[in-house]
Amino acid sequence: MRKVIVTGGAGYIGSHTVVELARAGFTPVVVDDLRNSHRSALKGMSELIGSVPSFHSVDCLDLERLHEVFKLEGEVHGVIHFAAYKAVGESVAEPLKYYENNLGSLVNVLQVMQWRGVGALVFSSSCTVYGQPARMPVDEGAPDHTASSPYGYTKVVGERMVRDAVRANHTLRSVLLRYFNPIGAHPEGHIGELPIGAPGNLVPFLTQTAVGLRKQLVIHGSDYDTPDGTCVRDYLHVVDVARAHVMALDWMDQQAAPLVETFNLGAGEGRSVKEVVELFEEVSGVTVPKVYGPRRAGDVSAIWADSSKSRRVLGWRCEHDLRSALRDAWNWQLALQATMARK
C-alpha cells in the first residue's frame, strides 16, 4: 500500500488524480482547505473509486497542522503538490497573494517531507515557465525561462525551490510536471471543473456561457501573430494529465535518489481560441454568444508542447483528443445544471 498525500486533492486536476491513484492501487490522502474547491468533489471521487478517500481540511500554509496530517497518516510514500492559485490575470492584479500562497505552501510541504523522511514529490508546474518560447514545439530544455505573469513566476521559483531542496536532501526524488492546458472532465461523470465565481479559463467560461450562466464569451485578442489572430494553446484532457502523475510516481520508484526531472504534458498540437470555440459549438450544438475584446495581460501568443520525453521515459501519451475533452466538459456542465435545477 503506497500512501500518497495529495495537496489540493479536491481541486480540478487534484480530484482526477486522486481517482487515477486509487484505481492504480495507491492510497490517496486528500489535503485541501476547500478555499477554491467544493466538498462535493469528495463525493464525486468516492463514487468513482467506490470508497471515501481520507480527507484533511488543512491549509498548507499552516505548517503545524500540515505536519499533524503526516503524523496522523503514518507511513507516507509520496506527495503530489497541487495546492496553489492559478489564474494568470488575477496574479497580475494581486501578485503578493500568489507569492505568499504558492511559494509558502511549497516551503511547508518540502519542510514536512524532510522532517518525516518522505522521499518522492510530484510538483504541479506549468508551461507558463517558458514564457513565449522562441521555437515551437517547446521542449524541457528550452532556455531563458521568463514567465509572463506572477502566477508563472511562482512556478519558475517553485521548480527552483524543489531543485535546491533535492540538492540539499540527497534522499529526495522529484518530478516536475509542466502542464499545458488541461481541460475536460471525467468521462464517467461525477467530477469536473468547479470554478468559484466567474471562471478565468477558456473552457469553463465557454460551457457556462453555452448554458446561459454568462452573457457572452470575450475572446481576448484577435491581433496576435497567429493564423487567425487569436492565441494558440495546447489543450489536453484532464484525465491524461492525472494519469501522468501515477506514471511519474511509478517511474520515481525505480530511480535512485537524489533525482529531479522535468516533463512536459501536452497533446503536441497548437489550437487557436477561435478553433476551440468552433469545435465546442459543433460538439454541443450550441452557438455561443461571443465578442472580440482586447488582449489579456500576461498572455503569450502561442505555445504548444514537445512531449516526446514524457512518452520516451514515462511511457505517457494522450489517450483522449480535443473533441472528447470538449464533449466531457460539456456533459459535466449539463450535469451541474441538472443538479442545480433539482435543488
Using CA atoms, how far apart are residues 337 and 136, in angstroms rounded to an integer? Answer: 39
Using CA atoms, how far apart are residues 271 and 234, in angstroms rounded to an integer? Answer: 6
- Comparison of 87 and 249: residue with beta carbon closer to ligand UD1: 87
- Comparison of 69 and 273: residue with beta carbon closer to ligand UD1: 273
CB of 128 to ligand UD1, least distance (A): 3
Which one from 12, 98, 151, 153 is the annotated catalytic residue?
151
Cβ neighbors of 342 (< 8 A, separation 6 or more) are: none
- Comparison of 41 and 288: residue with beta carbon closer to ligand UD1: 288
CB of 88 to ligand UD1, least distance (A): 5
CB of 130 to ligand UD1, least distance (A): 8
Q: Minimal CB distance to ligand UD1: which residue?
A: 231
Active-site residue flag, 151: yes
Chain residues in the site for ligand UD1 (CB under 6 A) = 86-88, 126-128, 152, 179-181, 200-202, 205, 217-220, 231, 233, 273, 296, 299-300, 303
Helices 238-253, 12-23: axis angle to 10 degrees equals: 50
CB of 27 to ligand UD1, least distance (A): 27
Using CA atoms, how far apart are residues 212 and 206, in angstroms rounded to an integer? Answer: 10
Using CA atoms, how far apart are residues 58 and 30, in angstroms rounded to an integer? Answer: 9
CA angle (112, 116, 118) in 5-degree steps? 90
Q: Which residues of 216-236 are buried (b: 16+ CB within 10 A; e: fewer)?
A: ebebbbbebebeebbbbbbbb
Residues tagged active-site: 151
